[in-house]
């Protein structure tokens, strides 16, 4: 079991470039989440999904899009990167029918936007 994996581990972008972060889980979890972590601000939810084909906005969704075409994958897209999107991005997944369950996190992706 690999658990939750993220690709890539690190990326540098120029302002205006686009990219996609991939999250994959092999635990057959229904719920998946994308967070960003900035110093002194904890974890902030960007988007989440309660099942294949469904997505919803979190606390800070602007500038990001997501897709969940397959149950095991959750993609986070940045259409036009901005320096304010420099952050560490964590994906997580949880089993069950509620957000109020243990979340299992991926190793994170460090993104630097110049």
Partner 1 sequence: GENVEQHPSTLSVQEGDSAVIKCTYSDSASNYFPWYKQELGKRPQLIIDIRSNVGEKKDQRIAVTLNKTAKHFSLHITETQPEDSAVYFCAAGSNYQLIWGAGTKLIIKP
Among 90, 93, 111, 113, binds partner 1 (CB under 8 A): 90
Could you say whether residue 96 binds partner 1 (CB under 8 A)?
no
Among 64, 103, 109, 113, binds partner 1 (CB under 8 A): 103
Alpha helices for the chain (secondary structure H): none
Could you say whether residue 22 binds partner 1 (CB under 8 A)?
no
Calculate ∠ Cα 63-51-76, nearest 5°.
Answer: 25
Residue 30-69 contact track with partner 1, rule CB under 8 A, x = bound: ----------xxxxxx--x-x-----x--x----------
Whether the CB-CB separation of 44 and 60 falls below 8 Å is answered with: yes
Please report, to the nearest 10 degrees, the dihedral formed by the alpha carbons of residues 62, 44, 10, 64 taken in order.
-20
Nearer to partner 1, 5 or 17 (CB): 5
Q: How far is the CB of 53 from partner 1 (least distance, A)?
A: 17
Number of alpha carbons in the 13 Å side-chain half-sphere of residue 29: 28
State the pairing for strand pair 43-51/54-57. Answer: antiparallel
State the pairing for strand pair 73-78/31-37. Answer: unpaired
Nearer to partner 1, 64 or 89 (CB): 89
Binding site for partner 1 (CB under 8 A): 40-45, 48, 50, 56, 59, 90, 99-100, 102-103, 105-108
């Amino acid at each position: 079991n690999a658990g939750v994996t993220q690709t890539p581990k690190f990326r540098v972008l120029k302002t205006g470039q686009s990219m996609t972060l991939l999250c994959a889980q092999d635990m057959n979890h229904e719920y998946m989440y994308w967070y960003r972590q900035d110093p002194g601000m904890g974890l902030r939810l960007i988007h989440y999904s309660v099942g294949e084909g469904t997505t919803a906005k979190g606390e800070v969704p602007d500038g990001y899009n997501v897709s969940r075409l397959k149950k095991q994958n959750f993609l986070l897209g940045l259409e036009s990167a901005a320096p304010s999107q420099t952050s560490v991005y964590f994906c997580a997944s949880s089993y069950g029918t509620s957000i109020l369950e243990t979340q299992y996190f991926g190793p994170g992706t460090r993104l630097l936007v110049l």
